[in-house]
């Protein structure tokens, strides 16, 4: 029996795992006691990882060879890599010649490794010259990115997991880490219990419309009305200003823009904010006092802030509170966004997104484009394209017929993107859809003209970066099944063939022929940037374990301790954002406020977690949760089948009454697509309205109608 250290492929906590195997088959997994994210702990999903490994999972659940269909409506046929690649190259060249490079789009994933991101980015921008490459991280973290950049000057979470343990007050807002980031939550629970046991005091404030498992532990639960987060933050800041719970020295020395924000929040008295949010005013005052006057206050936040048409404003309003009270740049304090996916952060670092370039560069900046072109070894006449379509906009462009070819990797947009009617129409309208996947038979596979089998967790080499900026190695323990290949390798072979046609006689940008070589190129792109990792190497990661960036001479546990921020003035910025309503609002026709949420033991579209029967023991299937009074008023009973309807789609699900859901609200787990349900999938109900700054869609709010399915 052998052991290989790697990283869990699920959430952004980024736990280290030890894979037990015999070189051919993965037989077990346990937490890595040396990994600083988890010190040996794993949650239920992590503990069951070996049960998702081939050949433990049914053979039919892995995509094992390239599949090509001769035409729409025809069954895909197994082909070899040579035929698959030749067809792919031919189609991309045909579409590019007929419609231009901008007719080609890439939709990739925060579950790819950083090395895979680097390969896709070069293929799209340097070889095909299309600007349209975006990632499903757009659905998860893009508002955190724009929030950090607007307020602090860089997309860099300033905190570490050790801050969770050192904080005296933790504000969890728009997150349910007890279920979505379980190992980090265990660290918070343990630290809180230890502090309380020795009489040191600890405050936990949870802001969430639902009484979640995280809220159950809280000293104070602010059950705000969905979408009212900015009003709450402005009200908290107003209370701090009124009471003098401020850090005037920090504001004076290290920030700018406070006067404009003060003018804005003057209107947001605690009374008005509390009324808007639907919480007791006294609770708002209490939260403000605890947060501002505790020696060290930390906030943890995730999709509840990010997946919103006001996503960036929610992030900056929270950061305002930290800046005004001096709760930043010291141990146990700071605004700490939790990443959803295992490598959402790596995608941001390597710039594999429509609004980013490698090393946190900006595609709207011609100098940054020229720097990246030079780093990639492009000729002086080979300019890189500017910014491209973001995730939902990419599919909207495809639905309009502007995107003709879509290359989708390691994600399942026919289930996970909002407004499924539009997404499926877009996939139908594309002339050519390529799906690069490890798992067979996802909803998107039904639309794919060509399917390419990818290696997955336990079968490939590379790196990921977790929520606390820590880069961990991902290692292969066993070979991929049948003809499956690592993603970077699939991309490189197609890119080399395309270069022969599109860049004949020029030095290849794909001379890099290993994950380590791709990562070294990525490392070099960060030199002198805020995320500089020029002091790191695979060898150092292998010898000394996972490391946090920036890393020049050594790791940085915490950012902004010197009070200097990476803005032109060196000061952090207060951002004065007005309170805006959600894109949709409950109405007589659609009276319920729908929020999509996550289950403890499932992951995204369940391609991996759905392969483990034991992970359905916690929650066996999707149900719509309503408050018992709402059910009673409509004469609906527990277990009854309901027809759920929004302005875009409908589905049928059983009712479960639950007093933890707010009155007038509806809670629905996001994991199920149309293929699993009698009606449409969950995301047939959601919509693609987006934050204007981050372009992140508002997956956390839709107006819903609910009726008994027995009614005609
Ligand atoms: Fe994996 Fe996240 Fe669970 Fe850790 S907390 S074992 S990273 S799913």
pLDDT above 90 for 476: yes
- CB of 11 sitting under 6 A from ligand 1: yes
Read off the pLDDT of each residue in 434-439 and give the average, rounded to a whole number: 97
* Centroid of ligand 1 to alpha carbon of 255 (angstroms): 36
At 299, the pLDDT band (50, 70, 90 cuts) reads: very high
pLDDT above 70 for 59: no
Cα-flanking dihedrals φ and ψ of residue 324, to 5°? -70, -30
Cα–Cα dist 52/67, whole Å: 22
> Using CA positions, which residue lies closest to atom 3 of ligand 1?
43
At 680, the pLDDT band (50, 70, 90 cuts) reads: confident
Q: Hey, what CATH class is 2-61 in? A: alpha beta
Structure tokens at 693: 């700054």
pLDDT at 57: 66
Structure tokens at 390: 């973001």
325 neighbors 704 (Cβ within 8 angstroms)? no
Tell me 141's DSSP state: T
pLDDT at 512: 87
pLDDT at 679: 72
Cα–Cα dist 12/14, whole Å: 5
Structure tokens at 336: 């700490």
Cα–Cα dist 422/105, whole Å: 16
Compute the residue count for the chain: 712
Residue in 117, 73, 62 with CA at minimum distance from that of residue 437: 62
- CB of 576 sitting under 6 A from ligand 1: no
Cα–Cα dist 165/89, whole Å: 52
Atom of ligand 1 at shortest distance to CA of 184? 5
At 674, the pLDDT band (50, 70, 90 cuts) reads: confident
pLDDT at 712: 65
Q: Is the dihedral of CA 270, 272, 273, 278 positive or negative?
A: positive
Atom of ligand 1 at shortest distance to CA of 14? 7
pLDDT at 531: 96
Sequential DSSP letters for 361-402 = B-TT-HHHHHHHHHHTT--TT-PPP-----HHHHHHHHHTT-
199-238 confidence digits (pLDDT tens) = 999 999 999 999 999 999 999 999 999 999 999 999 999 9
Write down the mean pLDDT value for the chain.
96
Cα–Cα dist 25/433, whole Å: 32
Atom of ligand 1 at shortest distance to CA of 31? 6
Read off the pLDDT of each residue in 664-675 and give the average, rounded to a whole number: 92
Cα–Cα dist 199/202, whole Å: 9
* Centroid of ligand 1 to alpha carbon of 44 (angstroms): 8
pLDDT above 80 for 81: yes
Atom of ligand 1 at shortest distance to CA of 13? 7
- State the first-to-last Cα distance of the chain, in angstroms, to the nearest integer: 61
- CB of 43 sitting under 6 A from ligand 1: yes
Tell me 617's DSSP state: S
- CB of 14 sitting under 6 A from ligand 1: yes
555-572 confidence digits (pLDDT tens) = 999 999 999 999 999 999
Percent of the chain past pLDDT 90, that is, above it, reads 95
Is residue 508 packed enough to be buried (19+ CB in 10 Å), middle (13-18) or exposed (0-12)? middle
Average the pLDDT over each of 30-34, 299-303, 510-514 and give the range with the smallest value.
510-514
pLDDT above 70 for 329: yes
92-144 confidence digits (pLDDT tens) = 999 999 999 999 999 999 999 999 999 999 999 999 999 999 999 999 999 99
Domain map (residue ranges) of the chain: 2-61, 84-139+343-526, 142-338, 592-708
At 355, the pLDDT band (50, 70, 90 cuts) reads: very high
pLDDT above 90 for 10: yes
Cα–Cα dist 32/472, whole Å: 12
pLDDT above 80 for 60: no
Locus of tokens 């390691």:
410
Q: Mutate which of 6, 17, 43, 140 to test ligand 1's pocket (most atoms within 8 Å of Cβ)?
A: 43
pLDDT above 70 for 56: no
pLDDT at 677: 77
Q: Is the dihedral of CA 251, 253, 256, 259 positive or negative?
A: positive
* Centroid of ligand 1 to alpha carbon of 14 (angstroms): 6
Strand partners, 119: none
Cα–Cα dist 288/245, whole Å: 8
Locus of tokens 């780093």:
375
Atom of ligand 1 at shortest distance to CA of 38? 4
> Using CA positions, which residue lies closest to atom 2 of ligand 1?
11
Domain 84-139+343-526 of CATH type 3.90.1310.10: no
Domain 142-338 of CATH type 3.40.228.10: yes
* Centroid of ligand 1 to alpha carbon of 166 (angstroms): 21
- CB of 332 sitting under 6 A from ligand 1: no
Residue in 436, 441, 389, 451 with CA at minimum distance from that of residue 415: 441
534-545 confidence digits (pLDDT tens) = 999 999 999 999
Q: Hey, what CATH class is 592-708 in? A: mainly beta
Atom of ligand 1 at shortest distance to CA of 342? 7
Read off the pLDDT of each residue in 607-635 and give the average, rounded to a whole number: 94
pLDDT above 90 for 72: no
374-426 confidence digits (pLDDT tens) = 999 999 999 999 999 999 999 999 999 999 999 999 999 999 999 999 999 99
Sequential DSSP letters for 265-300 = HHT--HHHHHHHHTS-HHHHHHHHHHHHHSSSEEEE
CB contact set of 584 (below 8 Å; sequence gap of 6+)? 590, 646, 647, 687, 689, 698, 701, 702, 703
> Helices marked H in 503-616 — which ranges?
515-525, 538-544
Read off the pLDDT of each residue in 288-299 and give the average, rounded to a whole number: 98
């Amino acid at each position: 029996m052998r052991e290989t250290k790697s990283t869990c492929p699920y959430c952004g906590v980024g736990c280290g795992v030890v894979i037990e195997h015999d070189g051919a088959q993965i037989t077990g997994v346990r937490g890595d006691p040396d990994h600083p994210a988890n010190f040996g702990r794993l949650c239920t999903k992590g503990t069951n990882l070996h049960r998702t490994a081939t050949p433990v999972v049914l053979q039919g659940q892995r995509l094992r060879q390239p599949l090509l269909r001769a035409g729409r409506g025809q069954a895909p046929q197994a082909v070899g890599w040579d035929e698959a690649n030749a067809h792919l190259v031919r189609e991309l060249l045909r579409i590019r010649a007929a419609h231009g490079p901008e007719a080609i789009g890439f939709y990739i994933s925060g579950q790819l490794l950083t090395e895979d991101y680097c390969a896709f980015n070069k293929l799209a921008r340097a070889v095909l010259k299309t600007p349209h490459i975006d990632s499903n991280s757009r659905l998860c973290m893009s508002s955190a990115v724009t929030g950090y950049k607007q307020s602090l000057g860089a997309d860099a979470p300033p905190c570490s997991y050790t801050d969770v343990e050192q904080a005296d007050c933790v504000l969890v807002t728009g997150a349910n880490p007890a279920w979505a980031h379980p190992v980090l939550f265990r660290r918070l629970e343990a630290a809180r219990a230890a502090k309380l046991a020795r009489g040191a005091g600890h405050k936990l404030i949870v802001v969430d419309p639902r009484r979640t498992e995280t809220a159950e532990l809280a000293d104070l639960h602010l059950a705000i009305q969905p979408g009212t987060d900015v009003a709450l933050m402005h009200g908290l800041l107003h209370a701090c200003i009124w009471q003098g719970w401020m850090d005037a020295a920090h504001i004076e020395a290290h920030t700018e823009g406070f006067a404009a924000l003060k003018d804005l929040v003057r209107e947001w008295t605690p009374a008005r904010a509390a009324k808007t949010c639907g919480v007791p005013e006294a609770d708002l005052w209490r939260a403000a006092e605890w947060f501002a006057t505790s020696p060290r206050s930390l906030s943890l936040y995730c999709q509840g802030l990010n997946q919103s048409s006001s996503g960036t404003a929610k992030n900056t309003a929270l950061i305002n509170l930290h800046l005004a009270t001096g709760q930043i740049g010291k141990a146990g304090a700071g605004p700490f966004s939790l990443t959803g996916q295992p490598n959402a952060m790596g995608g941001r670092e390597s710039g594999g997104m429509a609004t980013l370039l490698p090393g946190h560069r900006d595609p709207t900046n011609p100098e940054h484009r020229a720097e990246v072109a030079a780093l990639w070894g492009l000729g002086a006449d080979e300019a890189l394209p500017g910014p491209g379509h973001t995730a939902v906009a990419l599919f909207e462009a495809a639905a309009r017929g502007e995107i003709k070819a879509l290359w989708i990797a390691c994600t399942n947009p026919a289930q996970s993107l909002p407004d499924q009617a539009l997404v499926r129409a877009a996939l139908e309208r594309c002339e050519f859809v390529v799906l690069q996947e490890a798992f067979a038979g996802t909803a998107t596979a039904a639309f794919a003209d060509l399917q390419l089998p990818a290696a997955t967790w336990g079968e490939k080499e590379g790196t990921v970066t977790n929520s606390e900026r820590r880069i961990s190695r991902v290692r292969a323990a066993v070979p991929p099944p049948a003809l499956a290949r690592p993603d970077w390798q699939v991309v490189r072979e197609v890119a080399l063939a395309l270069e022969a046609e599109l860049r004949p006689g020029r030095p290849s940008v794909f001379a890099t022929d290993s994950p380590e070589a791709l990562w070294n190129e990525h490392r070099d792109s960060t030199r002198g940037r805020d995320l500089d990792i020029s002091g790191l190497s695979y060898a150092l990661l292998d010898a000394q374990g996972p490391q946090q960036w920036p890393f020049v001479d050594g790791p940085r546990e915490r950012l902004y301790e010197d009070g200097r921020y990476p803005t032109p003035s060196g000061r952090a910025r207060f951002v004065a954002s007005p309170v805006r309503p959600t894109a949709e609002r409950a109405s007589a026709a659609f009276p319920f406020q729908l929020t999509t949420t996550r289950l403890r033991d499932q992951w995204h579209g369940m391609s991996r977690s759905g392969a483990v029967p034991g992970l359905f023991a916690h929650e066996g299937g999707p149900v719509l949760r309503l408050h018992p009074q709402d059910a009673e008023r409509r004469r609906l009973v527990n277990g009854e089948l309901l027809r759920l309807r929004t302005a875009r789609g409908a589905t049928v699900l059983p009712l479960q009454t639950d007093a933890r859901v707010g009155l007038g609200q509806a809670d629905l787990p996001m994991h199920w697509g149309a293929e699993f349900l009698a009606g449409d999938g969950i995301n047939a109900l959601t919509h693609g309205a987006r934050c204007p700054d981050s372009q992140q869609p508002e997956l956390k709010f839709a107006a819903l109608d609910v009726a008994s399915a027995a009614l005609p």
